[in-house]
Amino acid sequence: MGLKPDHLVAVYPGSFDPITYGHLDLIARASGFVDKLIAGVLRNESKQPLFSVEERVEMLGEVVREYPNVEVDSFDGLLVEFAAARRASLIIRGIRAISDYEYELQMALMNRRLRPNIETVFMMASEAHSFISARLVKEVAKLGGNISGLVPPGVEARLKERLLEKQPVKA
């Protein structure tokens, strides 16, 4: 790696559909060692998200308000091009279990091939959050389980509202 830039900018990309306390824990810790952290929400309709990009950006914005060096943005196309356009030299990704590693390694190596100057930094999720995934949170919420403590209260309220709207009408 070259000389450390004076102003260290990192991108923390993801689907954030919706943001969980696992994401937030990573944002809190990563924002402590970079000058600027940009949470980048992927615009990808093929993933059939529960929340629109605008809603996801809004939810993230609400919960990162307490971190002055954290910004929220959205992107489409290649992650490394987004990072380069935002002058970021780091991509932050969280790893929960060894099962995350294989996919993350592939992405990190591909991203390095595309843009060798952008470094991927893996951070371990804290034990308290290592089982949380947005997918499981949505599934539990859909089935009426308790999701408090897994997502911020505002997100929990929006999830319940969205899932109620999506309930199929009973015949």
User: Which stretches of the chain bind ligand PNS, using CB under 6 A?
Assistant: 13-15, 42, 78-79, 107, 110-111
Which of 80, 141 has the CB closer to ligand PNS? 80
- Residue 111 C-beta: closest distance to ligand PNS, Å: 5
Which of 53, 141 has the CB closer to ligand PNS? 53
Which of 83, 147 has the CB closer to ligand PNS? 83
Neighbour count for residue 138 (Cβ, 10 Å): 20
Contacting residues for 70 by C-beta, under 8 A, at least 6 apart: 27, 31, 36, 37, 38, 39, 64
- Residue 113 C-beta: closest distance to ligand PNS, Å: 9
- Residue 13 C-beta: closest distance to ligand PNS, Å: 4
Indicate the SS3 state at residue 83. helix
- Residue 15 C-beta: closest distance to ligand PNS, Å: 4
Distance CA(25)–CA(71), nearest Å, equals 15
Which of 37, 168 has the CB closer to ligand PNS? 37
- One-letter amino acid identity for 104? E
Looking at beta carbons, which residue is closest to ligand PNS? 14
- Residue 37 C-beta: closest distance to ligand PNS, Å: 15
Which of 78, 128 has the CB closer to ligand PNS? 78
Q: Write out the H or E segment, with its range, that includes residue 81.
A: helix 79-85
Helix residue ranges, H only, the chain: 21-30, 53-63, 79-85, 98-114, 134-142, 153-165
Handedness of CA 147, 156, 151, 17 (dihedral sign): positive
